[in-house]
Amino acid sequence: MKKVVLGLLVAVFAAVGVTSASASAAPPQTSVTGVVTENHMSVAGAAVSVLCDGHTETDTTNAQGAYLVNYPAADCPFGSTVKVTATKSGKSGTASGTVEGKTTKLNIAIVNVEIPEYGLIGALIAGGTGVGFIAYRRRQNIATSN
């Protein structure tokens, strides 16, 4: 009888220990990771911002250009769209993907963001204004000479 009671007590304490251990386990997480590169070379020190399901997390790339952010699984659930943006020294890049498991990997290539069209547009506007002014002045000269 003592052995049965002792066995039951051991079983109860073991069950309580397993229950409390599982209750203190970390909640499920979603990880977003990747490498930031420029011209196929890793970029250390890039600022990385990750947007998932309305929640933003940030990180800075390490010496190998790697970043890692973790979300509670409820904040970035399976099937959510993830958008990652990396910037450094006026250069930036973005990548998007879908959460397909515990870890989603999105690599990013950053580039120098120059918009040459602004210079072209300014030149066209200035040229058009100059041509318009010349046409206006010629028309005035013709009207006054007649």
Strand pairing category for 108-109 and 29-38: parallel
101-116: average pLDDT: 79
Helix H or strand E segment including 37: strand 29-38
Q: 29 forms bridges with which residues in the sheet? A: 72
Contact, 40 vs 19, CB < 8 A? Answer: no
Token pair recorded at residue 129: 């204004």
Q: How far is CA 62 from the centre of its chain?
A: 16
Q: In which band, very low, low, confident or very high, does the pLDDT at 112 lie, cut at 50, 70 and 90?
A: confident
Q: Which residue has the tokens 């203190």?
A: 24
Helix H or strand E segment including 122: helix 117-145
Residue 129 reports pLDDT greater than 60: yes
Q: What whole-number distance in Å separates Cα of residue 53 and Cα of residue 105?
A: 16
Token pair recorded at residue 139: 């028309």
- Write the pLDDT tens digit of every residue in 22-60: 445 777 999 999 999 999 999 999 999 999 999 999 999
Most confident listed range (14-28, 42-56, 102-116, 120-134): 42-56
What residue ranges define each of the domains in the chain, with the CATH number in brackets?
A: 27-112 (2.60.40.10)
Could you tell me the pTM of the whole model? 0.61
Eight-class DSSP state of 99: -
Eight-class DSSP state of 96: E
Residue 86 reports pLDDT greater than 50: yes
- Average pLDDT of the chain is 78
pLDDT, residue 5, reads 45
